[in-house]
């Protein structure tokens, strides 16, 4: 946790003593009354918080906010529904690396039971993005969707002008690295990754109907969360060069 993130409603009230962030502030950062630490309002500014009191109601703070900053990433990521533990890793790590949107989509081969995980019903998905943002010393969380089918995401991205590519281990026209080199002036800002069982022919036909090229990361078979990390690294590097 490189920055302590607070919801807007938490800024004007004490942070409870049993809150994990309180334990982090006191036990890891070793902050007491009069000490300061880095703080951020979720989807808002960063700044410094100074501990002014510690009592039964929790930790009390004064804040000094910096100028606002903007969400640096415009990248959108859509993934065929993975198992819940993989989704947790993707939510956390993709947020750390920087994405504007994360969509977990139903595809032909994705397991429909994954969408019923408590990850999506008890708010854990958001806690994972907060963990990822705190690691990155950022305050912005991606928009997260998990109720769309692949066709719906493709239609929405088409309407919003997203320049998308898809990863495909078995049926592709080029590698992502080569595609980025050829299109260095206009790198894609949307990436589609299939479910753990891969795209099937119906999914590929749908991608083709939207004129989305299918690309490879290479010959090695990667875990979904690893493919996400590699892909975002390449896209961010391409965006810096563009």
Q: What is the pLDDT of residue 241?
A: 66
Q: What are phi and psi of 208, to 5 degrees?
A: -65, -35
Percent above pLDDT 90 for the chain: 89
pLDDT attached to residue 1? 87
What SS3 class is residue 73?
coil
Which residue spans of the chain are classified as CATH 3.40.1280.10? 76-241
Among residues 233, 234, 226, the alpha carbon closest in space to that of 82 is found at 226
pLDDT score recorded for residue 204: 97
**pLDDT of the residue at 242:** 57
- Segments in the chain below pLDDT 70: 240-242
pLDDT of amino acid 108: 93
The two tokens of residue 184 are 């260095």
The CATH code for residues 4-65 is 2.40.240.20
Q: What does the pLDDT look like over 156-188, one tens digit per residue?
A: 999 999 999 999 999 999 999 999 999 988 889
Q: How far is Cα 223 from Cα 240, in angstroms, rounded to an integer?
A: 26
pTM for the model = 0.93
Strand order in the sheet with 164-167: 143-145, 101-105, 76-80, 190-193, 164-167, 214-216, 174-175
CATH class of 76-241: alpha beta
Q: Long-range contacts of range 19-27, CB-CB < 8 Å, 24 or more positions apart?
A: 19/58, 22/58, 22/59, 25/51, 25/59, 26/59
- Cα→Cα distances 29→55, 101, 179, Å: 18, 31, 44
Residues of the chain with CATH 2.40.240.20: 4-65
């Amino acid at each position: 946790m490189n920055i302590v993130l607070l919801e807007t409603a938490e800024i004007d009230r004490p942070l409870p003593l049993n809150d994990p962030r309180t334990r982090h502030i006191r036990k890891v950062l070793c902050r007491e009354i009069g000490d300061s630490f880095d703080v951020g309002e979720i989807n808002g500014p960063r700044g410094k918080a100074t501990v002014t009191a510690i009592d039964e109601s929790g930790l009390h703070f004064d804040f000094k906010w910096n100028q606002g900053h903007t969400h640096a990433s415009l990248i959108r990521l859509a993934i065929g529904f993975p198992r819940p533990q993989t989704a947790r890793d993707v939510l956390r790590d993709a947020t750390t690396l920087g994405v504007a949107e994360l969509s977990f989509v139903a595809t032909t081969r994705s397991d429909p039971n994954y969408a019923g995980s408590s990850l999506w019903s008890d708010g854990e998905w958001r806690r994972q993005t907060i963990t990822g943002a705190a690691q990155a010393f950022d305050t912005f969380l991606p928009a997260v969707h998990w109720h769309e089918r692949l066709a719906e995401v493709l239609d929405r991205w088409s309407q919003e002008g997203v320049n998308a590519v898809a990863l495909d281990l078995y049926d592709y026209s080029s590698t992502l690295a080569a595609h980025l080199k050829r299109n260095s002036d206009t790198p894609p800002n949307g990436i589609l990754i299939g479910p753990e069982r891969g795209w099937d022919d119906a999914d590929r036909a749908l991608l083709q109907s939207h004129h989305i090229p299918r690309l490879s990361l290479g010959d090695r078979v990667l875990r979904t969360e690893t493919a996400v990390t590699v892909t975002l690294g390449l896209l961010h590097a391409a965006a810096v060069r563009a």
